A and B are shown apart, each in its own frame.
Chain A
Amino acid sequence: MSEQVRTQNEELNLIGQDYESRYGFHDPVEYFHKGAKGINHEVVEMISKMKKEPRWMTERRHEALDIFFEKPMPRWGNTKLLNEIDFDNIYYYMKPIEDQKDNWDDVPEYIKKTFDRLGIPEAEKKFLGGVSAQYESEVVYHSLQKDLEDMGVIFLDMDSGLREYEDIVKQYFGTIIPSNDNKFAALNSAVWSGGTFIYIPPGLDVKAPLQAYFRINAENMGQFERTLIIVDKGSRVHYIEGCTAPVYSTNSLHTAVVEMIALEDSYIRYTTIQNWSRNIYNLVTKRANVYKNATVEWVDGNLGSRLTMKYPCIQLLGEGAKGEILSVAFAGIDQHQDAGAKVIHFASNTSSRITSKSISKDNGRASYRGLVKVHKNAKNCKVSVECDALLIGEDARSDTYPTMEIDNDQVKIEHEARVSKVAEEQLFYLTSRGLSEDEARLLIVNGFMEPFTKELPMEYAVELNRLIELEMEGSIG
């Protein structure tokens, strides 16, 4: 282990033993603007006005709200938990401060402290190319390395993106995930705020990752960030998203929409480490369009939340395009991780790989829901799907709902699904070497996750292992 990781480990140890004290704290905040609870056209109008948006966006928001009202709740997934969401008891827009800062010293102390505790400024100094920090509805801090800016990299919060690059936004916004895609995409399209706008000009390899951090602080908060990433021909970027929230007894809602476009020969990796508290409903729509010989990878780590429904999607539109979705989900006490993946092969010689790993502990439930579709004219495609579930304890539950729609016979398909328990014999092997049963179980779980963890930048891998350890201790309140 490198010195850096060791110290980081120690720091993490110091921060505390449970979610409550590490992430679960909340700040007493005087909000610059805090609307009323509930959702209606007035709220939408107010959000759009406050943001001084062009009329077309305001109109889109209203249309989307009508769609949201019209569409019924999904009748699949965990309908019981879904129906517990009380849309009238949620704040749809909270603006913590008047404007965004580009220097941490200008960010109010209580907010800065939050991000300090989450290690964001530290990570920024060490290895990130750009940082965006969203607090409730708005991005409060934002930075981008000077050299990246000079090369024409655009990395902004979505609101600034719309103000400064209206043409690009108008061209792409909602084209990959239209408002009527699903009920929650409609809600996001109506009340979206914050999120990320990235454009990478052709032929650039952005080596240092760009990171956005999303923090919900208030009780009964709805966070609706909107992200649009466009990577032009031959360019490469790695975007990292992290999320946390305090522990409250009532529920909050996180409903994001992420749209990505990977133009010819480009490469995008989108890494998520979400670590929501147990009162969060996390209902997210993510989709990428991948053009000729381009690659998109969703690396998606789902921890925490009460209910997560998230199925990152890849549409392989150009010949030779590649897509990979690598996800882990950890479902602890009273949690349901309903996660999965979708890949649609529209073009020939495209390939996709889905690797889904889930861990269910206590009465936690992890579901894999996946769709792979290969269109009639998409010849010589390669598809690989691997689902691996690990159960800990007698009440843990895992289900898989894989769907394959293959409309031609020139496809190479590999499909594997496994459910395993932490085997007594494995535990015995490890305990017979002096590890306690808890340590042994943790080692087995970390080993199970390794194919995922090794894809993360070192700092995040360490953090993830630490989070898993907390989950295994069952101490997250």
Chain B
Amino acid sequence: MTERKPLFEFKNVHVKVDETEVVNGVSLKIYPGETHAIMGPNGSGKSSLANALMGNPSYTITKGEVYLDGENMLEMEPDKRSLAGLFLAFQYPLPIPGVTVANFLRSAVKARRAKDDDMSDFRKTLKAEMDGLSIDHPFAARYLNDGFSGGEKKRIEILQLAMLKPKMALLDETDSGLDIDALKIVAQGINRFHSDKNGILLITHYQRMLNYVKPDFVHVMMRGKFVKEGGPGLAMELEEKGYEWVEQETAQKVEV
């Protein structure tokens, strides 16, 4: 049997923000084609982890290792991580006034191509992907995240995912702020992107997203640590019993 190699792997990652450690030693292996979900209470460190993995300078990885396709992410700046195939859909995407969605995406797509590439297919691809996510075409001319509603921002994050086609997508609460129909459309977008070659790490609070985007594994994060792991059933159980239940369980474990 040939040994399967993980697509994305982080080991014993510790993250500091402003001198406080908010993530204290988490590890995970994601194999090609897999979808993982992280759930956990507010403030448990999920976004901090995702930001640190992507290379946000405000979140320092003080210890640990991160690899994508065998490449050491910690040696790379965010742009190089992106070009290597890592992607983060932000929980709170920032407005960039004056920069249109189309211009921004053009620059991002261009960064992935050879210098002399003519980009003539760009518009067509953009329109097709916008159609797929039921985003009206005039949206391409709006300034990125500037005055967008919560749901619009999330859709545009997934539009970026669709256009940039990363190997590994970290999706931070892409479901929050979406109405019922939008949730379905966005989930379909994620599923269209997903293949047996790429991986998804989904951060969410709600089971309903996981009905559409089915996780292979669910991890529970509390106080900067993964405290429990399970299959898709775990999400259901969490929704029913809440995090207190996990807390009690882990407490018992410690007692044993």
Residues of A within 8 A of B (CB): 423-426, 428-437, 439-440, 443-444, 446-451
Which of B56, B77, B83, B96 is A430 in contact with, Cβ under 8 Å? B96
Report whether A447 and B107 are in contact in the complex, using a CB–CB cutoff of 8 Å.
no
Q: What is the predominant secondary structure among interface residues of chain A facing chain B?
A: helix
- Min Cβ gap A33→B in Å is 48
Interface size on B, residues (CB 8 A): 29
Report whether B99 and A433 are in contact in the complex, using a CB–CB cutoff of 8 Å.
no
Query: Once bound together, how far apart are the Cα atoms of A439 and B111, in whole Å?
Result: 10
Residues on A with beta carbons closer than 8 Å to the beta carbon of B56? 425, 428, 432
Residues on B with beta carbons closer than 8 Å to the beta carbon of A444? 96, 99
Report whether A434 and B112 are in contact in the complex, using a CB–CB cutoff of 8 Å.
yes
Query: Once bound together, how far apart are the Cα atoms of A424 and B98, in whole Å?
Result: 17
Report whether B88 and A439 are in contact in the complex, using a CB–CB cutoff of 8 Å.
no
Residues on B with beta carbons closer than 8 Å to the beta carbon of A435? 79, 107-108, 111
Residues on A with beta carbons closer than 8 Å to the beta carbon of B160? 433
Q: Which of chain B's residues has its CB closest to A448's CB?
A: B98
Residues on B with beta carbons closer than 8 Å to the beta carbon of A447? 96-99, 143
Report whether A450 and B98 are in contact in the complex, using a CB–CB cutoff of 8 Å.
yes
Query: Once bound together, how far apart are the Cα atoms of A155 and B169, in whole Å?
Result: 61
Report whether A431 and B99 are in contact in the complex, using a CB–CB cutoff of 8 Å.
no
Give 6 pairs: A residue, B residue, CB < 8 Å, sorted on A. Answer: A432-B81, A433-B164, A434-B112, A443-B103, A443-B107, A450-B98
Does B206 make an interface contact (CB < 8 A)?
no
Report whether A431 and B82 are in contact in the complex, using a CB–CB cutoff of 8 Å.
yes
Interface string of B102-124 (1 = CB under 8 A from A): 01100110011000000000000
Residues on A with beta carbons closer than 8 Å to the beta carbon of B82? 431-434
Residues on B with beta carbons closer than 8 Å to the beta carbon of A443? 96, 99, 103-104, 107
Residues on A with beta carbons closer than 8 Å to the beta carbon of B78? 428, 431-432
- Min Cβ gap A9→B in Å is 12
Q: Which of chain A's residues has its CB closest to B83's CB?
A: A434
Query: Once bound together, how far apart are the Cα atoms of A436 and B103, in whole Å?
Result: 15
Q: Which of chain B's residues has its CB closest to A433's CB?
A: B108
Report whether B96 and A424 are in contact in the complex, using a CB–CB cutoff of 8 Å.
no
Q: A437-B79, A443-B99, A446-B99 are in contact. Are A432 and B88 (CB under 8 A)?
A: yes
Does B57 make an interface contact (CB < 8 A)?
yes
Which of A425, A439, A448 is B107 in contact with, Cβ under 8 Å? A439
Q: Which of chain A's residues has its CB closest to B103's CB?
A: A443
Q: Which of chain B's residues has its CB closest to A430's CB?
A: B96
Report whether A434 and B79 are in contact in the complex, using a CB–CB cutoff of 8 Å.
yes
Does B40 make an interface contact (CB < 8 A)?
no
- Min Cβ gap A187→B in Å is 38
Query: Once bound together, how far apart are the Cα atoms of A94 and B79, in whole Å?
Result: 52
Query: Once bound together, how far apart are the Cα atoms of A448 and B160, in whole Å?
Result: 22
Query: Once bound together, how far apart are the Cα atoms of A444 and B144, in whole Å?
Result: 11
Query: Once bound together, how far apart are the Cα atoms of A50 and B123, in whole Å?
Result: 59
Known: A426-B94, A428-B58, A430-B96. 12 other contacts (CB 8 A): A423-B94, A429-B90, A429-B94, A430-B104, A432-B79, A433-B160, A435-B79, A435-B108, A437-B77, A444-B96, A444-B99, A447-B99
